[in-house]
Amino acid sequence: MALEIKKVGVIGAGQMGSGIAHVCALAGFPVALADIAEDRIKSGMAVIDGNMGRQVGSGKITNDERKKALSIITPATSLDKLGDCDLVIESAVEDEKVKRAIFTELCPHLRADALVASNTSSISITRLASISDRPEKFIGIHFMNPVPVMELVELIRGIATDDETFDTARTFVAKLGKIVAVSEDFPAFMVNRILLPMINEAVYTLYEGVGTVEAIDTAMRLGAHHPMGPLQLADFIGLDTCLSIMQVLYEGLADSKYRPCPLLVKYVEAGWLGRKTQRGFYDYRGEDPVPTR
């Protein structure tokens, strides 16, 4: 008999994790939001409150809906507090070692019938599932950023994921008001396999001096009708995340077309990771973003 999802655990209170908690709570699911430090959970809760406030301001939700959703998100300062969750979604940094350590620690605290998901944007679900004690109950649920705004969720089965887990996850995503696209378990799945090489190519175009930051972004906004230029988008995603996904593609598919641009590597080495560090392809420290090249 299929498990009914009644309570959701979210591991990671950053940009993605707080967004996932936000949409789950608005859909009526009580959420336990976990992170390694209490101040990170508080920061995540403040982001959720602010984003819901904007939704109230634009008429997407009522203030009562906001209050109700915020009231059913509770902080979880350790993974043992997720033991009563029916589904736990990991949304930590895009680093396989970190994710493996989380699943190793998490699984002993869960009920035998609980489902485990990863919000990874690129790493093999089959490989992550093998670390858990329940590979048949493990699935990839990849939300897009920003979660409250973007309609799509990629669902990715590992080699061991059973039909019941897949069907339960699909029903859960539908209850969040999201649209499912099913991807096979290949490096970076579908969206990032197409999107990240485009961003990487934009960085090569900058690196080779074909155009400036501003010219490249203007060209793609006005010439291809993209809502955001690729370098601006890279800053929004985080250049460290962009680099890690390109490395997963390059190592996983062994094709030179996925080689990360040396300039992208240099920016990450400098700690210029985009909006979150105030500098990337643009400098965000003033009133208006200024190109850094």
pLDDT in tens, the chain (293 residues): 668 999 999 999 999 999 999 999 999 999 999 999 999 999 999 999 999 999 999 999 999 999 999 999 999 999 999 999 999 999 999 999 999 999 999 999 999 999 999 999 999 999 999 999 999 999 999 999 999 999 999 999 999 999 999 999 999 999 999 999 999 999 999 999 999 999 999 999 999 999 999 999 999 999 999 999 999 999 999 999 999 999 999 999 999 999 999 999 999 999 999 999 999 999 999 999 999 99
How far is C-alpha 138 from the chain's CA centre?
17
- Angle (CA) 112 118 122, round 5°: 150
CATH architecture, domain 192-291: Orthogonal Bundle (1.10)
| Amino acid symbol at 184 | E
Q: How many CA atoms lie within 13 A of 63 on its CB side?
A: 1
Q: Are 83 and 109 in contact (CB under 8 A)?
A: yes
State both tokens at 233.
């988008």
- Domain 8-183 fold: Rossmann fold (3.40.50)
For the chain, residues classed under CATH 3.40.50.720 are 8-183
pTM of the model: 0.93
For the chain, residues classed under CATH 1.10.1040.10 are 192-291
Which residues have a catalytic role annotated? 121, 142, 154, 192
